[in-house]
Structure 1
Amino acid sequence: MNVTPAANSKHKYLVLGLLCLGWIINYFDKVAINVAVIPISQEFGLSETQVGLILSSFFLSYAIMQPIGGSLADKFGSRKVILISVICWSVFTILTGTAWSFLSLIVIRFLFGIGEGSYPSASSVAVAESFPQHERARAKSILTSATTIGAVLATLVAASLSKQYGWQTMFVILGVLGLFLALLYAKFLHPTGSQAVKAKSSTDKLPLKDLLKISMLWKLMAIYFGISMVNWGMMSWMPSYMVKVRHLDMVSMGALASIPAILSFFTVLGTGWMLDKRMVGREKYLISIGSVIGIISLYLLSKAPTVALVVTYQAFASIGLGAAVTTTLTMPLKYISPSSVGAASGLIYLGGQIAGVIAPTAMGFMIQQFNGSYDAAFWLLIIATAIPFVVGMTLRTGSTSRQEPPQAVTPSV
């Protein structure tokens, strides 16, 4: 069947819209636990360290599935992997609402991570299947911006649902919403345009051992690790910090959390435009400058005397790190062979999810050891932000031309 350019253009934006919706609901289910741990810890009598272990148990399995899911999407196509992922994570979101103890939460959240772990890298494959190379940074930035929308809505929705119906019912509602998304995907998600045909017929798919020889991937993994230490650390503990230290109620906390996320949303979109139009071959500067903004903002946040300044500095940190993370996640789509995008993206996401394993538990342990003070926990995040700055300055892409897209990176031997 021949597809006209206009029809193909409409189809790729339908795919992108559905993927964005998936990322938003993905964040609903992922972030809800950060709000729910406040009543959960009271109900089950959990310490900060135990809360950190619950949050980290998800990221352990989530990290393991990143490269596996990407490789499966490269082999079988993104649609099948995405569908299975959405169904699995929705079922385990519902089961989270049935948890009855600390141990049951650990097990359910671990299984939840397995279900959800394939979605990020599979969605990157769907972008590569649907968009030509010179449009992928903007497409990926739109996907990344959807995560900020998810973060905004998730905190607000989770706080409201938990307060009105209880945390158990909240997870059931969110899980059912995910199953509805799976029905939409089954009917409408078909990322099989001309880019997909080109990618799947390509003979330049790199095996994992050759991907691991590409120094850029290791650097991007380290960069994403540092950024994710901050993102997951803040996402996991800022709700508790604002309620316990700054004495806000849960709904007010959720409303204020939306301000940094909204600014991050616009930053991510602007960064995607710059990456396609102005910064080809110069991506390292966006990563390093964004990291410096993050370091300064996090330090000022840790010393802020008022809630207003806390939110202000958190917003500046979101702007800097939003630019850095968008750049990091789009680089595989521009510099790696289309037939290996899933595996390459999965390796980079692996670095971020390792940070997700470490950050919540490490911060919880520090908060407990310092008798409820968050100072040491914030210093952990400041130190982590230095990683993308240092490593980012060593990136080499081999192209400074705006007119022609750079060639795919090949393994160094």
Structure 2
Amino acid sequence: MPPENTPSRLNYAWFVVAILFPVALLNYLDRQMLATMKASMVGDIPSIANRADWGLVLGCFKWTYAILSPFGGYIADRFSRRHVIAGSLFVWSAVTWWTGHVTSFHELMLARALMGISEAFYIPAALAMIAEYHPGLTRSRAVGVHQTGIYIGQILGGFAGYIADSPEHGWRWAFTMLGMIGVVYAVPLLLALRNPPPATATPGAAATSRPTEGVLRGLLGNRNFLLLVLYFTLPAIAGWVVRDWMPDILREKFHLGQGKAGVSAILYVQIASMVGALVGGVLADRWMRTNARGRIYTSALGMALFLPALFSVGNAGTLSLAIVGLIVFGIGWGFFDCNNMPILCQIARPEWRATGYGIMNLVSISCGGFGDWAFGALRDRHMPLNLIFGVFAGVALLSVALVLAIRPRSEQTG
């Protein structure tokens, strides 16, 4: 492998982002379709009895995904990230295909659990690979570009309600076709990817955790890492509720069709997230030239946008006002999302990053799964939306304080 500053190395580094982009898209398209096709799936599977049952369908994916994420990260750190990424895509795509053939609530629960297991291996491995190929001042931008694949996947998932309503296609056709696409793409992906060379920690990394320590002791004994885990978790609860429940919220509150509700809930917020990730990535990388906390400050700015956004969403009296709130939320989410792995790179050894991100996923998505279930249960009990989203806004304010308390010693270049 050529040195990191040669044109061939830099070109391949961006090539890695480019070929992982469609994988990120499929990763979240497969998830988002479930939320926007809820009415059709519930109508076709009568054993889904109520909102709490649907919350369990959403939650079981997150719980299995969360529990397996540290293991997936550990496997990627210890063995081949290339094989972990391609294998994850192949398996979750096969499960996506099977989801189009389930006939009962319990089969759907099992399919979502299996998808959670298989998808748990992708994000930690992919982001760690991108971070290693993009040391220094392109790291936030590279992660931001990869994350736009996630947002496009969510946007396309927002249109899935129209497919579900179509007599010629339907929700089963959508899952079947996407599963087949992913299985096929896994083969050229495996052939094109190369594992990055082993990275060495900089002095700043060694200062946070000694090489002789085990990975769990080194990460869990790191104050900065624990703060990052909390910061990664608290806003994500609101993020999961917005992603999974907003189509249903808008459909009921403003009496929309399934297709329009899905597009209104997903399209604007994800376009805004794309803009936020790209702008936030550039801003963070430039800020890092003059301040080692540049990525932290950029992320904190994004989190500050959550406050007016969540109040607006919770109190919206019109669809237009709700969309404005979702746009502001999306911009803030993009600033937040493109800097989590880069901040982790400032406080953790290179060979621990996939494991560290897996631990972050474990805590964050476990709480997100309970959040999905709790939101469904609260809505069954007619809890006002403005009260629920007001609590989310308070959590966002606490999160600003958490990220500003992280004190990296230096930028990691490994």
* TM-score over 0.5 (shorter chain): yes
Q: Superposition pairs for residues 72-83 of structure 1, below 5 Å?
A: 72-83=75-86
The answer on whether the counterparts of 1:74 and 1:340 sit within 8 Å (CA) in structure 2 is yes
Q: Which residue of 2 aligns with 1:259?
A: 268
Distance 1:340 1:228 in 2: 22
The answer on whether the counterparts of 2:136 and 2:412 sit within 8 Å (CA) in structure 1 is no
* 1:177 corresponds to 2:181: yes
**Percent same amino acid at aligned positions?**
23
Considering only aligned residues, what root-mean-square deviation do their CA atoms show, in Å? Answer: 2.4
Which residue, out of 88, 112, 115, partners 2:115? 112
Distance 2:162 2:326 in 1: 22
Distance 2:81 2:118 in 1: 15
Q: Secondary structure at the match of 2:409?
A: coil
Task: After TM superposition, give the deviation of residue 293 of structure 1 in Å.
Answer: 1.7
The answer on whether the counterparts of 1:221 and 1:350 sit within 8 Å (CA) in structure 2 is no
Distance 1:227 1:220 in 2: 12
Q: Secondary structure at the match of 1:198?
A: coil
CA separation of 1:123 and 1:361: change in aligned 2, threshold 3 A: same
Task: Please tell me the residue identity of whatever aligns with 2:233.
Answer: F
The answer on whether the counterparts of 1:54 and 1:105 sit within 8 Å (CA) in structure 2 is yes
The answer on whether the counterparts of 1:217 and 1:347 sit within 8 Å (CA) in structure 2 is no
Runs of 4+ off more than 4 Å: 1-4, 202-206
Partner deviation per Cα, 1:253-280 (whole Å, 9 max, x = no partner): 2333312211211111111112221143
Q: Superposition pairs for residues 242-281 of structure 1, below 5 Å?
A: 242-256=250-264, 257-279=266-288, 280-281=292-293
Distance 1:199 1:289 in 2: 31
The answer on whether the counterparts of 2:300 and 2:403 sit within 8 Å (CA) in structure 1 is yes
Of 209-218 and 329-338, more deviation after overlay is shown by: 329-338
Task: After TM superposition, give the deviation of residue 204 of structure 1 in Å.
Answer: 4.2
* 1:309 corresponds to 2:321: yes
Q: Which residue of 2 aligns with 1:10?
A: 11
CA separation of 1:392 and 1:197: change in aligned 2, threshold 3 A: closer
Partner deviation per Cα, 1:108-166 (whole Å, 9 max, x = no partner): 1111100100101000221134222332222112112221122112212x223222212
Q: Superposition pairs for residues 320-335 of structure 1, below 5 Å?
A: 320-335=332-347
TM-score by length of 2: 0.89
Gaps of 5+ in 2: none
Of 78-87 and 97-106, more deviation after overlay is shown by: 97-106
Q: Superposition pairs for residues 77-226 of structure 1, below 5 Å?
A: 77-156=80-159, 158-164=160-166, 165-192=169-196, 196-198=197-199, 204=211, 207-226=215-234
The answer on whether the counterparts of 2:315 and 2:385 sit within 8 Å (CA) in structure 1 is no
Q: Secondary structure at the match of 2:334?
A: helix
* 1:381 corresponds to 2:357: no
Provide the aligned length of Structure 1 versus Structure 2.
397
TM-score by length of 1: 0.89
CA separation of 1:40 and 1:179: change in aligned 2, threshold 3 A: same
Task: Please tell me the residue identity of whatever aligns with 2:355.
Answer: A
CA separation of 1:397 and 1:100: change in aligned 2, threshold 3 A: same
Task: Please tell me the residue identity of whatever aligns with 1:353.
Answer: I
